[in-house]
A and B are shown apart, each in its own frame.
Chain A
Amino acid sequence: MNTLTTFLNLLIFPGGLFLLIISTVYEWVDRKLVARYQNRVGPRWFQPVADIVKLLAKEEIIPNGVRAELFIGLPAVALAAILASALYTPMFGLQPAFSFRGDLIVVLYLLSAMTLSLGLAGANTIDRFSLIGATRTLTQLFSYEAPFLLALLGPAIVAGTWQINEINAYTGTHLWILITQPVGFLVALIGLMGKLELPPFDAPEAETEIVSGALTEYSGRGLALFRIGKDIELVIGLTLISTFYLGGLSNPLWFVLKTGVLLVVVAGLQSLFARLRIDQTVGLWWRIGALLALFQLLAIIVLRLVL
Chain B
Amino acid sequence: MNHKPSADEKFIIPIGPQHPALKEPGHFEFSVDGEIVTGATVRLGYAHRGIEKATEERSWQQNAYILERICGICSHIHATAYTIGVERLAGVTISPRANTIRTLVAELERVHSHMLWWGVAAHEGGFDTLFMYTWRDRETIMDILENLSGNRVNYSANLLGGVKFDIDQKQVDMIRKGIDFLEERTHYYYQVITTDETFLGRTENIGTMTREQAESLGSVGPTARASGVERDIRVNAPYAAYTDFLIKMITDTAGDLKARFVVRLKELFESYRLIREMLDNLPEGELVVRVPRRIPEGETISRVEAPRGELFYYLASKGGDKPERIKVRTPTLPNWSSVLSVIVGHKLADVPMMLVGIDPCFSCNDRMITLQRKDNSDVWTWAKLRQYGIDYYK
| Given A200-B126, A271-B128, A280-B201, A208 contacting B21 (CB threshold 8 A) | yes
* Contact status B381-A129, CB under 8 Å: yes
B residues 359-388 in Cβ contact with A at 8 Å? 380-384, 386-387
Contact pick for A208, options B126, B130, B381, CB 8 Å: B126
A282's partner among B198, B202, B352, B394 (CB-CB below 8 A) is B394
- Indicate if the CB atoms of A209 and B20 lie closer than 8 Å: yes
One digit per residue, 1 when the CB lies within 8 angstroms of any chain B CB and 0 when it does not, for chain A 39-63 equals: 1100000000000000000000000
Q: Does B129 lie within 8 Å of A271, measured CB to CB?
A: yes
- For A200, list chain B residues within 8 Å (CB): 126, 198
Does A294 belong to the interface (CB within 8 Å)?
no
For residue A136, give the distance in angstroms from its CB to the closest CB of chain B.
8
A14 at the interface (CB under 8 A from B): no
Within 8 A of B (CB), among A245-299: 271-280, 282
- CB of A208, distance to nearest CB on chain B (Å): 5
A278 engages B20 (CB within 8 Å): no
Please, which residue of chain B has its CB at the minimum distance from the CB of A277?
B390
* B122 interface hit (Cβ, 8 Å): yes
Complex A-B: 24 CB contacts under 8 Å: A37-B129, A38-B133, A39-B132, A39-B133, A129-B381, A132-B386, A135-B387, A136-B387, A206-B126, A207-B20, A208-B21, A208-B123, A209-B352, A210-B20, A210-B383, A210-B386, A210-B387, A274-B126, A274-B130, A274-B202, A275-B198, A277-B349, A279-B390, A279-B393
Distance between B14 CB and nearest chain A CB, rounded to angstroms:
12
Is there an interface contact between A199 and B198, defined as CB atoms closer than 8 Å?
no
Return chain B residues, CB-CB under 8 Å to A206: 126
Chain B residues, Cβ within 8 Å of A274: 122, 125-127, 130, 196, 198-199, 202
In the bound complex, residues from chain A placing their C-beta under 8 Å from that of B143 are none
B residues within 8 A CB of A278? 390
A280 to B127, CA, bound (A): 15
A67 CB–B CB distance under 8 Å:
no
Q: CB within 8 Å of B: which residues of A?
A: 37-40, 128-129, 131-133, 135-136, 199-200, 202, 206-211, 271-280, 282
A279-B394 contact, Cβ under 8 Å, with A132-B384, A135-B387, A209-B21:
yes
If A272-B129, A277-B390 touch, does A128 touch B380 (CB 8 Å cutoff)?
Answer: yes
- CA–CA, A154 and B128, complex, Å: 35
Q: How far is the CA of A133 from the CA of B136 in the complex (A)?
A: 31
Residue of B nearest to A130 (CB): B383
Query: Which among A37, A132, A207 has the greatest number of chain B C-beta atoms within 10 A?
Result: A132
B124 within 8 A of A: yes
Docked Cα-Cα span, A208 to B382, in Å, equals 10
User: How distant is A293 from chain B, measured CB to nearest CB, in Å?
Assistant: 22
Q: Give CA–CA (A275, B126) in the complex, Å.
A: 4
Report the bound CA distance from A133 to B386 in whole Å: 11
CB distance from A123 to the nearest CB of B (A): 13
Q: What residue in chain B is nearest A279 (Cβ atoms)?
A: B393
- 8 Å CB interface, B156-211 against A: 196, 198-199, 201-202
Q: In the assembly, what is the distance between CA of A209 and CA of B202, in Å?
A: 14
Separation of A109 and B51 alpha carbons in the complex (Å): 61
Q: Which residues of B are found within 8 Å of A280, using beta-carbon distances?
A: 201
**Which A residues are CB-close (under 8 A) to B125?**
274-275
Docked Cα-Cα span, A39 to B132, in Å, equals: 8
- B394 CB contacts on chain A under 8 angstroms: 279, 282
Chain A residues positioned under 8 Å from B352 (CB to CB): 209
- Return chain B residues, CB-CB under 8 Å to A128: 380-381, 383-384
User: A40 vs B133: C-alpha distance in the bound complex, in angstroms?
Assistant: 10
Distance of B18 from chain A, by nearest CB (Å): 11
From B124, B128, B387, contact of A38 by CB (8 A): B128
Find out whether the CB atom of B383 lies under 8 angstroms from the CB atom of A209. Answer: yes
| 9 cross-chain pairs, A with B, having the tightest CB-CB distances, nearest first | A275-B126, A274-B127, A128-B381, A210-B383, A274-B198, A38-B132, A279-B393, A132-B387, A132-B383
Q: Which residue of A lies closest to B393 (CB)?
A: A279
**Chain A contacts of B122 at CB under 8 A?**
274
Asked if B20 and A208 make an inter-chain contact with CB atoms under 8 angstroms apart, the answer reads yes
The answer to whether B390 touches A39, judged by C-beta atoms less than 8 angstroms apart, is: no
Q: For the complex, what is the distance from the CA of A209 to the CA of B125, rounded to whole Å?
A: 10
9 further interface pairs, Cβ-Cβ under 8 Å (given A128-B381, A210-B386): A129-B20, A132-B384, A132-B387, A209-B382, A211-B20, A274-B127, A275-B125, A277-B349, A280-B201
Q: Which of A132, A199, A208 has the most CB of B within 10 A?
A: A208
A210 neighbours in B (Cβ, 8 Å):
20, 383, 386-387
Q: Is A40 within 8 A of B126, CB to CB?
A: no
Chain B residue numbers with a CB within 8 Å of A207 are 20
CA distance A277 to B384 in the complex (A): 14
Query: Could you tell me if A276 and B20 are in contact, using CB atoms closer than 8 angstroms?
Result: no
CA of A287 to CA of B6, assembled, Å: 37
List of B residues within 8 angstroms of A275 by Cβ: 125-127, 198
In the complex, A211→B381 CA distance in Å? 11
Residues of the B chain whose Cβ atoms lie less than 8 Å from the Cβ of A199: 126, 128
| Assembly CA distance A271 to B129 (angstroms) | 6
Q: Is the CB of A129 within 8 A of B383?
A: yes
A273 CA to B199 CA, complexed, in Å: 8
- Collect the chain B residues with CB atoms within 8 Å of residue A282's CB: 394
In the complex, what residue of chain A is closest to B385 when comparing beta carbons?
Answer: A209
CA distance A209 to B126 in the complex (A): 9
**A129-B136 Cα distance, complex, nearest whole Å:** 31
Residue from B126, B132, B198 within 8 A of A202 (CB atoms): B126
Q: With the chains together, A202 CA to B352 CA distance in Å?
A: 18
Instruction: Give A37's nearest chain B residue, CB to CB.
Output: B129
Tell whether A40 pairs with B20 under 8 Å between CB atoms, given A209-B383, A277-B390, A277-B393: no
Query: Which chain B residues lie closer than 8 Å to A271 at the CB level?
Result: 128-129
Residues of A within 8 A of B127 (CB): 273-275
CA distance A39 to B136 in the complex (A): 8
> What per-residue 1/0 map shows which CB atoms of B124-147 lie under 8 Å from chain A?
111111101100100000000000
A214 to chain B, nearest CB (A): 12
Residue of A nearest to B129 (CB): A271
